[in-house]
């Protein structure tokens, strides 16, 4: 009789709540709740994502070996910062959270004392809020309590980054760095993986949060915290290095302690946030962004470089939302004492569903999970499902079925057209990797304004990014110690890259955030770009996510057609069908 598979369901309830299903050590499904509810950054129990994971494998709740949930302390959701209506597990804890901010506004010196008291009260209240959380989860996943485990937030970030990489499989020692806003009262950690053991070495508390510093800068600049930090990073190069005065105003608030492998913010991060209007009044917004970016790169480079020297391990893996900053990742990858670097794709809290599943498997079996080979882990749709949707819309659109759909798309792209592509399984995470993408020529600068005005409504300073065939990467990129299979690291471009990728690089510093594509990762998408290369000589395409501004990436054929309808796109590919507007 064959052995029953080990199924572990990983869950993150934080912003961009998500679920992931692991089978015998391999992640076979993962998706964020926002893709199903169409509510950006949807927090709470990811009911639809859980259902998708189970339905994909054709299993029931009773088939699950265990359920692993990120965060020991029930999450608090700030309704002013995050959309959606999540389960409020603890009104008392949320009241304390609001009171803490009120005290900070009126009497900042008392905040540290209150924070200590707040932690104690929250811990006392934990059993009550945890019971509510458990019952809420059991209403969605009807299993006995012993099947559920609650894991440390930063341990999940560490496990996601570590086990997604090839390091454990190759029996290589690794330092794992995590950094974000806050999770389980920590804002950053260092773990060591060696000889099959994962051990936490360093913990930095939430009052020293570098992630929150960047969040407060984002908010000060009038952008959405937790959502728009990437815009601050994109804005920074426009200062052209003219950020020294602001840098000198902000940098003294940070202190790095090399011997303890941690940094401190000399006043707590909330107090620093209150001082920003006074410190930065009448300063240029691009120079503020540049100073914040410089400080973040500097502190993290000191941290990572110092830890490598101290612990004498030169392979690194990084996770947590701060490492969504691709320029930070590039800076770290160039450190002379880094041997090899891996950055978790979509490293924010959504990937903690993957981290929770990985860590639960590792702890329960003492076995190494299989690394992530790709991120095509979401739903796909059958021919019947697609044809049904197209039939409903056949009076609105011209619908064709070309003999060779990839050749058709390559021809359109070569002529300067912009094409939306819906194919195969949806990508997990923040980046579209070809299956829910909008594509165009990467050397045609005019498409940038068209995509912005007709579809994306992006801020003028934000660059697009390319998908590059693996064998052409050296032609276009100045390679370093990290790969970029998942669009999560920045690269400088070669002279040829500046020409062939002119529409898919940052217009000021000429860096780019590429998806370097292997044939095995996505054969159909690879074939499309190969056909485009034969027509143009360019082994890359511009690739941006298929969504309207403020909406999640499309998930279903219905989403694709709705987005097509609301935009000024002329061409949409859904699997083998070419759709144009009448």
B/e letters for 392-418, b = 16+ CB within 10 Å, e = fewer, are ebeeebebeeeeebbbbbbebbbeebb
Secondary structure letter of residue 351 according to DSSP = G
Stretch among 142-146, 257-261, 409-413 having the lowest mean pLDDT: 257-261
Contact (CB, 8 A) for 217 and 232: yes
Residue 301, C-beta contacts closer than 8 angstroms, at least 6 positions apart: 331, 332, 335
CATH of 154-346, one of 3.30.420.40, 3.90.1510.10, 1.10.1660.10, 2.60.120.590: 3.30.420.40
Unique residue bearing structure tokens 């002329």: 570
Other Cβ atoms closer than 10 A to 451 = 22
pLDDT of 115: 57
pLDDT of 83: 36
Q: How many residues does the chain have?
A: 582
108 has pLDDT over 60: no
The stretch 457-468 carries a mean pLDDT of 90
State how far the Cα of 174 lies from the Cα of 192, in Å rounded to an integer. 6
> Within a 13 Å sphere around the CA of 494, how many CA atoms are in the beta-carbon half?
12
The pLDDT tens digits of the residues spanning 554-575 come to 999 999 999 999 999 999 999 9
- Measured CA distances, 403 to 142, 491, 572 (Å): 48, 37, 16
Share of the chain above pLDDT 90, in %: 79
- 460 or 474: which carries more pLDDT confidence? 474
104 has pLDDT over 60: no
Contact (CB, 8 A) for 252 and 272: no
State how far the Cα of 546 lies from the Cα of 560, in Å rounded to an integer. 8
221 has pLDDT over 90: yes
pLDDT of 117: 63
For 171: left if phi > 0, alpha if psi spans -120 to 50, otherwise beta; the answer is left
pLDDT of 268: 65
pLDDT of 87: 46
State how far the Cα of 529 lies from the Cα of 341, in Å rounded to an integer. 27
321 has pLDDT over 90: yes
- 108 or 175: which carries more pLDDT confidence? 175
The stretch 157-171 carries a mean pLDDT of 98
Q: How confident is the model at residue 228 (pLDDT cuts 50, 70, 90)?
A: very high
Domain with CATH 3.90.870.20 in the chain: 383-581
pLDDT of 105: 54
Q: How confident is the model at residue 85 (pLDDT cuts 50, 70, 90)?
A: very low
> Within a 13 Å sphere around the CA of 248, how many CA atoms are in the beta-carbon half?
4
The pLDDT tens digits of the residues spanning 516-546 come to 999 999 999 999 999 999 999 999 999 999 9
Topology adopted by domain 7-150? Nucleotidyltransferase; domain 5 (3.30.420)
Residue 239, token pair as written in the block: 């200062």
Which DSSP string corresponds to 45-90?
Answer: --HHHHHHHHHHHT--GGG-SEEEEE-SSPPP--TTTS-S----S-
Residue 458, C-beta contacts closer than 8 angstroms, at least 6 positions apart: 451, 452, 549
Secondary structure of 204-254 in the HEC alphabet? EEHHHCHHHHHHHHHHHCCCCCCCCHHHHHHHHHHHCCCCHHHHHHHHHHE
Q: How confident is the model at residue 262 (pLDDT cuts 50, 70, 90)?
A: confident
CATH of 383-581, one of 3.90.870.20, 3.30.300.280, 3.40.50.620, 3.60.20.10: 3.90.870.20
Q: At what angle do helices 523-536 and 405-414 cross, to 10 degrees?
A: 40
The residue among 355, 351, 360, 377 whose CA lies nearest residue 53 is 377
103 has pLDDT over 60: no
Contact (CB, 8 A) for 505 and 498: yes
Residue 121, C-beta contacts closer than 8 angstroms, at least 6 positions apart: 92, 93, 96
pLDDT of 582: 85
B/e letters for 114-140, b = 16+ CB within 10 Å, e = fewer, are bbeebeeebeebbeebbeebbebbbee
Strand, coil or helix: what is 255? strand
458 has pLDDT over 90: no
pTM for the model stands at 0.92
pLDDT of 82: 38
- Measured CA distances, 424 to 336, 519, 525 (Å): 40, 15, 10
Q: State the average pLDDT for the chain.
A: 91
Contact (CB, 8 A) for 399 and 571: no
Strand duo 7-12 + 66-70: pairing: parallel
Domain with CATH 3.30.420.40 in the chain: 154-346
Residue 12, token pair as written in the block: 């993150």
- Measured CA distances, 415 to 410, 411, 447, 546, 576 (Å): 9, 6, 12, 20, 20
Strand duo 26-32 + 7-12: pairing: unpaired
């Amino acid at each position: 009789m064959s052995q029953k598979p080990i199924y572990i369901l990983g869950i993150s309830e934080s912003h961009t709540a998500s679920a992931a299903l692991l089978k015998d050590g391999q992640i076979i499904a993962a998706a964020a709740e926002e893709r199903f509810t169409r509510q950006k950054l949807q927090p709470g129990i990811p009911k639809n994502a859980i259902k998708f994971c189970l339905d994909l494998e054709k299993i029931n709740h009773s088939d699950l070996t265990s359920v692993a949930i990120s965060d020991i302390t029930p999450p608090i959701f700030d309704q002013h910062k995050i959309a959606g209506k999540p389960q409020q597990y603890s009104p008392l804890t949320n009241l304390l959270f609001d009171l803490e901010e009120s005290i900070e506004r009126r009497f900042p010196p008392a905040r540290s004392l209150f924070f200590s008291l707040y932690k104690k009260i929250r811990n006392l209240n934990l059993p009550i809020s945890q019971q509510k959380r458990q019952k809420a989860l059991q209403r969605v996943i009807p299993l006995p309590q012993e099947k559920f485990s609650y894991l440390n937030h930063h341990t999940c970030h560490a496990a996601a980054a570590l086990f997604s990489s090839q390091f454990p499989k190759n029996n290589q020692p690794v330092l794992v760095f995590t950094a974000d806003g806050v999770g389980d009262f920590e804002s950053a950690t260092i773990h060591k993986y060696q000889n099959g053991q994962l051990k936490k070495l360093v913990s930095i508390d939430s009052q020293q949060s570098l992630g929150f510093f960047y969040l407060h800068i984002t908010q000060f600049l009038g952008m959405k915290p937790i959502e728009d930090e990437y815009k601050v990073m994109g804005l920074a190069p426009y200062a052209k290095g003219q950020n020294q005065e602001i840098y000198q105003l902000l940098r003294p608030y940070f202190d790095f302690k090399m011997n303890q492998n941690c940094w401190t913010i000399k006043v707590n991060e909330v107090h620093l946030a209150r001082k920003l209007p006074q410190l930065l009044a009448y300063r240029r917004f691009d120079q503020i962004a540049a100073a914040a970016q410089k400080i973040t790169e500097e502190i993290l480079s000191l941290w990572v470089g110092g830890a490598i020297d101290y612990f004498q391990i030169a392979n690194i893996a990084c996770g947590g939302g701060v490492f969504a900053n691709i320029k930070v990742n590039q800076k770290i990858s160039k450190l002379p004492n880094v041997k090899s670097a891996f950055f978790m794709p979509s490293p924010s809290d959504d990937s903690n569903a993957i981290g929770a599943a990985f860590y639960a498997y590792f702890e329960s079996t003492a076995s190494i999970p299989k690394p992530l080979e790709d991120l095509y882990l979401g739903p796909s749709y059958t021919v019947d499902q697609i044809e049904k949707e197209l039939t409903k819309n056949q009076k609105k659109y011209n619908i064709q079925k070309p003999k060779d759909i990839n050749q058709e798309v390559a021809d359109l792209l070569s002529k300067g057209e912009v094409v939306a592509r819906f194919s195969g399984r949806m990508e997990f995470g923040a980046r579209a990797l070809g299956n829910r993408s909008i594509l165009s020529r990467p050397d045609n600068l005019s498409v940038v304004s068209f995509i912005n005005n007709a579809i994306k409504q992006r801020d003028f300073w934000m660059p697009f990014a390319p998908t590059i065939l693996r064998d052409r990467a050296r032609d276009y990129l100045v390679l370093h110690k990290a790969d970029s299979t998942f669009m999560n690291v920045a690269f400088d471009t070669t002279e040829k890259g500046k020409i062939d990728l002119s529409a898919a690089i940052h217009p000021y510093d000429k860096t780019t955030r590429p998806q370097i594509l292997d044939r095995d990762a996505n054969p159909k998408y690879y074939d499309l770009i190969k056909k485009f290369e034969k027509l143009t000589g360019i082994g890359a395409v511009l690739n941006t996510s298929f969504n309207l501004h403020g909406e999640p990436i499309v998930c279903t054929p219905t989403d694709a057609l709705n987005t097509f309808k609301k935009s000024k796109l002329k061409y949409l590919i859904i699997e083998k069908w070419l759709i144009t507007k009448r």
